[in-house]
A = this chain, B = another copy of it.
């Protein structure tokens, strides 16, 4: 397998058949040894975190594929920490799409004058650019089109997909009495067909989940979800 990209928490390989393979590392984003999904650097290494991330990602991608939602997921070998995916190109240098059901985190830092922390939001969607140096700036539909990152109509398409995906994940978590506050997704374009697909991973590190109003750390989520 040929290494084609070294990421913060995953490496990307192309195998001899031309198939793209994501390898889930035990690195987590954070600072000074404390996990923070919003951090843009690797802050700690936790044995088993790569496998846990892939287990959850594979679980949700299979549900999503079964619901006919287009994703890059093909299949996964959880023990080997490898996920096979379709080849995609990202939007610009990477576009993050956040869906919020409760007002916490940067939403409160920005709009705290208008809403109480923890108040309900109606599957609100926002997009940010992946840009560590500029702290992943928020971007609106008009700017994404002006900068040729999205084509006209794609913002609405991606926002609608995001709501559908986030609602499905929220419902799955709710079956275990887990409450999804917000989630960060990533999309890309299928290199072959041009179709917009959900890409990257869907794991604890991409979402804020609460149980009885208490925050559940990403690595503890697997135990709740899979009754381990």
Q: How far is the CA of A113 from the CA of B110 in the complex (A)?
A: 23
Contact with B along A92-132 (1 / 0, CB 8 A): 11000000000000010111111100000110111001010
Q: Given that A146-B121, A147-B115 are contacting pairs, would A126 and B110 also be in contact in the complex, using a CB cutoff of 8 Å?
A: no
**Cβ of A143: which chain B residues have Cβ within 8 Å of it?**
107, 111, 124, 126
Name which of A111, A122, A137, A149 has the most chain B CB atoms within 10 A of its CB: A111
Closest to A134 in B: B110
Check: A80 CB closer than 8 A to any chain B CB: no
Q: How far is the CA of A141 from the CA of B143 in the complex (A)?
A: 13
Q: Given that A109-B134, A137-B110 are contacting pairs, would A126 and B142 also be in contact in the complex, using a CB cutoff of 8 Å?
A: yes
Contact status B124-A111, CB under 8 Å: no
The size of the chain A interface, using a CB distance under 8 A, is 30
Contact status A111-B126, CB under 8 Å: no
Total identical chains: 2
**The residue from B114, B115, B140 contacting A138, defined by CB atoms under 8 A apart:** B140
Q: How far is the CA of A143 from the CA of B107 in the complex (A)?
A: 9
**Cβ of A113: which chain B residues have Cβ within 8 Å of it?**
93, 129, 131, 133-134
Check: A139 CB closer than 8 A to any chain B CB: yes
Q: How far is the CA of A213 from the CA of B121 in the complex (A)?
A: 45
Contact status A122-B146, CB under 8 Å: yes
Closest to A135 in B: B110
A123 to chain B, nearest CB (A): 9
Q: How far is the CA of A92 from the CA of B115 in the complex (A)?
A: 12
**Chain A, 203-225, CB within 8 A of any chain B CB:** none
Contact status A112-B140, CB under 8 Å: no
Contact with B along A186-203 (1 / 0, CB 8 A): 000000000000000000
**Cβ of A109: which chain B residues have Cβ within 8 Å of it?**
134
Residues of A within 8 A of B (CB): 92-93, 107, 109-115, 121-122, 124-126, 129, 131, 133-134, 137-143, 146-147, 149, 159
